Amino acid sequence: MHINLDDNAAIFYTLIEESPMPIALYVGEKMVIKVANKAILKAWGRDNRVIGQELAIALPELKDQPFLGILEEVRQTGIAYETKEDRVLLINNGVLQTFYFDFIYKPLKDDNGQVWGIVNNATNVTELVIARLKIKASEELFRKMIQDAPVAIGILRGENFIIEQANADLLKLWGKTEEVIGLRLIDGLPELKGQPFPDLLTQVYQTGVPHYGYETMARIERDGILQDYYFNFVYDPIRDQHNVVTGIMVVANEITSLVHSRMEMAKSEERFRNLLLDTPMATGYYETEDIIISLANDEMLRFWGKDKSVIGKPMEEAIPELKGQPFINILKEVYRTGIPYHADQQEALLPVNGKLEKVWFNFTYKPLRNAEGEVYAILHAAMDVTKQVQLQQQKDEFLGIASHELKTPVTSIKAYAQVLERMIRNEGDEKKADMVRKMDLQLNRLTGLIGDLLDVTKIQSGKMTFNPTKFDFDEVVREIVDEMQHITSKHYIKTDLNSNAMVYVDRERIGQVITNFLSNAIKYSTDANQIDVSTYVLNAEVILCVRDYGIGISKELQHLVFDQFYRVSGSLQHTYPGLGLGLYISAEIIKNERGRIWVESEEGQGASFCFALKI
């Protein structure tokens, strides 16, 4: 492009056209675009075809914006209009976009003072405004994040640590209100004088290295009372764009309750430890799934035949004699499942006076759980019952010998009684014959008692034999009911037999259980006249229940009914004869047949005794 340097108008036009500042000239009432340089055409997103068009037609997007009205006011008043960072919507690349300009509407007047045109000078400050808006939004977001943060956060500015910002949690932690905002920290919280925190802040400010405090005690005044509180906190330096520290962010979390709880827990653990060590019962405390012996009192060490050197060791290592015995596996299972384990008269092989001997214990493994319900330790309490077991064994041996020795003469007496009854009855003396018959009935009772004592002896010694056979369960029940119906004339035994099941168990032993159920029902329901017997199948089990309408059993005593020698207690005890062995023997029989036995009853409303066997 050739420019005549003597042509001032051409030079002036070139200056305007090439100026990086957007420039335009609007003339007349219609605001016709007379001049529009490259810069303003670029800002408008238009080309030079708009020159000569009315501004409202060339830029129709200005219709609902204030600029056309402002230009008209400048034309009419002759007063220039200037603004900074004004927002304008322009179509650029076919898309309506937002821009920001510093611009002037400068009126041009003729010799008569009439406005004939308006010069529009503008500076595109869009990037600057957007950057500042982003910074402002970022700062507002940062401040909002501080205010809404779930932990206590504040900003301290300058080397005097002016409290610029503190959210509600931090103010609550300090025991202050928003009145401290703008004050020096030491003025807002004068109780910090003489405490280490001002010096720590100065150190962070000068070095730029954050400081982390854990469970740090601070004396804070809340509600006019100066008290000790505990905090986890961070002093984190804030830097400007030149990496210079300009302030400190404070992040804090009060843990006073946690520290106090741990202090109390420590005291409680010490009390627990002392209680465990001082208790007269043998007690141990084991941790982790490896069953580490953390504590064991003197009584427990005596049981083990060990000294305190076992503390801190896994039980397998500390007491090698237990290998091959069930205890360590049971402990690991208790730790894994969280289910307590209790055993009575459990046999163990332990060193006694330097050699392994059989001893017996009652003991409990009790799992201890944390707040999340996870097992973290096991408490072991044990009692040596060796002497009691030995005495019981001697008693069982005596009962076994006595029962066995009694059985032969009683059988002979019964035979003589039956022969004698027939002889007397043949002689026609019915009265004497009935007396002998009653004697025979009493001998039957005596034979039953001796049989029970023998069964108990076999159970205790593990010598009770079982001879399983396959048979129709309902048929056996029906036979026993028929036999028992002949014994009682007062009760009608009603049956509802619907199992239709074949079972593989000891027929005689199961018959013994059913007979015992029916005998008890007859014995304990003297005021009733009916007994119900039912069978059915549920979940692959055949179930038998004998229901009576007698005195019943209270909920508190039901757990005792299958114990050895348990009998009905109270004022009517003498009314119900027997040794209290029948249900105990029945329970052991069902247990040996891998079945279940239970009772359902309420006092005064009868009882249902049931057992279940796998089909």
| Helices assigned H by DSSP within 245-292 | 256-278
Contact 584, 458 (CB under 8 A): no
Taking CA atoms, 198 is separated from 191, 202, 329, 367, in Å, by 11, 6, 58, 49
Rounded CA separation 43/91 (Å): 9
Task: With a cut of 90, say whether residue 397 has pLDDT above it.
Answer: no
The pLDDT tens digits of the residues spanning 501-543 come to 999 998 888 988 998 899 888 888 878 889 999 999 999 999 9
Residue written as token pair 């001997």 = 357
- Rounded-to-5 percentages of helix, strand, coil across the chain: 45, 30, 25
Q: Among 116-125, 447-456, 565-574, name the one with the lowest average pLDDT.
A: 565-574
% residues pLDDT > 90 (the chain): 30
Highest mean pLDDT among 63-67, 202-206, 267-271, 434-438 belongs to: 202-206
The pLDDT tens digits of the residues spanning 3-46 come to 454 555 667 677 778 788 899 999 988 899 999 988 888 888 88
The pLDDT tens digits of the residues spanning 53-67 come to 999 999 998 888 999
Contact 100, 86 (CB under 8 A): yes
Rounded CA separation 116/30 (Å): 11
Amino acid at 85: E
For the full predicted model, state whether its pTM sits above 0.75.
no
Q: Which two tokens stand for residue 478?
A: 């029906």
Contacts of 316 (CB under 8 A, 6+ apart): 291, 322, 323, 328
pLDDT band at 384 (very low <50, low <70, confident <90, very high): confident
Mean pLDDT of 569-594: 67
Rounded CA separation 457/447 (Å): 15
Per-residue model confidence (pLDDT) at position 571: 45
Q: Which two tokens stand for residue 100?
A: 């920001």
Task: With a cut of 70, say whether residue 111 has pLDDT above it.
Answer: yes
Across 8-134, where does the E strand assignment appear?
23-27, 32-36, 81-92, 95-109, 115-124
Amino acid at 148: D
Rounded CA separation 320/349 (Å): 11
> Helix crossing, 430-461 with 386-426: angle to 10°?
160
Rounded CA separation 576/563 (Å): 17
The pLDDT tens digits of the residues spanning 301-346 come to 888 888 999 999 999 999 998 888 999 999 999 999 999 999 888 8
Per-residue model confidence (pLDDT) at position 504: 93
Rounded CA separation 374/396 (Å): 44
Residue written as token pair 């982390």 = 212
Question: Closest by alpha carbon to 152, among 166, 133, 162?
Answer: 166
